[in-house]
């Protein structure tokens, strides 16, 4: 009798062991949280532009003071839009940090930067939402949120709200309707998403890879007190915004992601350019204190010269930043039908040649060729007056101007201008 009872007990124990052993994974995945632990399914989009397929995603659990608890989960980017998923992760705290590492599609250049690896972060409370995006705004606000929680005893919700408001103020975007930063995406149309795309493009407009990484890191560190105080970062942001070509950015996104509506970010970008108190290095370089002469480098739409007016080539480079200037200037006129003089000690090279069919031919074509190549950090103003314009002829000239690593199609140009009495 005892033997039969013992056999039944052994069989029951074996059955229970088998059930719990086989169902162990399912029990954890479907755990609903009868104690402190809860199961969450997290998903979202990682974008600078969107991170490429295979980029690494790391989710770390944080305590209420936003310090790591040690629980870490891993995933990868699943599609070209930067989508990731982490189903059925068990946490004791609702606060998480999402870290994304990898390369990404650049909305400014229309491809993947080389090199282009980048790390972005996002902080979130998954009691509020389990759909959490990672983008440049979530990244730039991160250290400010941590500071407010850890040093000023702010709640996570209040810290997030305050940090976003302060971040928008940096760009003069206080009047725009912007949801929580982790809700935003550059691949969906809304006012908040337009703000995100504007900021993302401004950052991406810093063409040099190492400088872009340094800008992002230094911005994040500087912004820890809720303000952006570094003048070099301020001026870089505004200069980058001025040099962007919104139409090209829209075309790049539309070509890569068919069927999406690109946020209308150009008015947002213009608002920053028009209202910022930062310095745009390109804004005052063609402005002369003297009145009267027309600066040919300022008006690149001019097609003819009015010989009753005076003309000049004038550039006043900004100080303290790298500047590169290249001017190519060629004037042509017949010796018996006009005259032209733009001689100056400022030119790096100058040459005047006459082409005649025979010696003493009054109908010689005279070619004035001038070249200026100069670079430096503290260049003085360049002023070259154009004088003795008579008869008829034409000018072909080009300006190539780079300031602090930026080049703008609105200023660098080539064109032809004619004149005739």
DSSP string, 200-263: HHHHHT--SHHHHHHHHHHHHHHGGGSS---HHHHHHHHHHHHH--HHHHHHHHHHHSTT----
pLDDT, tens digit, 9 for 90 and up, residues 245-266:
999 999 999 999 999 999 999 9
* pLDDT for the residue numbered 336: 75
Q: Which of 135-149, 199-213, 344-358, 400-414 has the lowest mean pLDDT?
A: 344-358
Please give the average per-residue pLDDT across 209-235, as a whole number: 97
Preceding amide of 115 cis, omega within 30: yes
Joined tokens for residue 324: 């590169």
Residue showing tokens 């979530």: 138
Residue 298: is its pLDDT beyond 50?
yes
Number of Cβ atoms within 10 Å of the Cβ of 177: 9
């Amino acid at each position: 009798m005892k033997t039969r009872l013992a056999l039944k007990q052994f069989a029951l124990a074996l059955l229970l062991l088998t059930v719990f052993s086989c169902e162990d994974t399912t029990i954890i995945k479907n755990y609903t949280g009868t104690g402190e632990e809860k199961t969450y399914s997290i998903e979202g989009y990682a974008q600078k532009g969107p991170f490429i397929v295979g980029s690494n995603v790391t989710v770390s659990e944080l305590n209420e003071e936003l310090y790591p608890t040690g629980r870490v989960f891993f995933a990868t980017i699943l599609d070209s839009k930067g989508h990731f998923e982490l189903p059925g992760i068990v946490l004791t705290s609702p606060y998480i940090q999402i870290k994304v590492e990898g390369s990404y599609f650049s909305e400014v250049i229309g491809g993947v930067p080389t090199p282009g690896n980048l790390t972005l972060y996002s902080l979130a409370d998954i009691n509020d939402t389990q759909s959490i995006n990672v983008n440049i705004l979530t990244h730039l606000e991160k250290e400010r949120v941590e500071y407010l929680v850890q040093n000023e005893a702010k709640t996570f919700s209040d810290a997030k709200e305050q940090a976003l408001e302060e971040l928008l103020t940096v760009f003069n975007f206080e009047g725009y309707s912007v949801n929580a930063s982790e809700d935003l995406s550059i691949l969906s149309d809304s006012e908040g998403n337009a703000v995100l795309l504007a900021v993302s493009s401004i950052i991406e407009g810093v063409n040099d890879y190492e400088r872009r990484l340094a800008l992002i890191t230094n911005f994040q560190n500087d912004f820890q007190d809720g303000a952006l105080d570094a003048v070099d970062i301020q001026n870089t942001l505004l200069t980058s915004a001025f040099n962007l070509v919104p139409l090209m950015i829209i075309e790049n996104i539309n070509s890569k992601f068919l069927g999406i509506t690109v946020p209308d970010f150009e008015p947002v970008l213009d608002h920053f350019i028009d209202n910022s108190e930062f310095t745009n290095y390109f804004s005052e370089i063609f402005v002369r204190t003297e009145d009267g002469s027309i600066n040919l480098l300022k008006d690149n739409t001019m097609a003819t010269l009015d010989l009753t007016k005076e003309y000049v080539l004038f550039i006043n480079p900004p100080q303290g930043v790298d500047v590169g200037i290249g001017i190519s200037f060629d004037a042509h006129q017949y010796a018996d039908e006009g005259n032209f003089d733009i001689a100056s000690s400022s030119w790096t090279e100058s040459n005047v040649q006459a082409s005649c069919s025979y010696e003493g031919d009054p109908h010689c074509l005279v070619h004035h060729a001038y070249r200026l190549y100069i670079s430096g950090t503290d260049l003085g103003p360049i002023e070259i007056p154009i004088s003795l314009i008579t008869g008829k002829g034409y000018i072909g000239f080009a300006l190539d101007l780079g300031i602090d690593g930026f080049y703008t199609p609105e200023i660098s140009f080539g064109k032809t201008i004619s004149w005739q009495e």
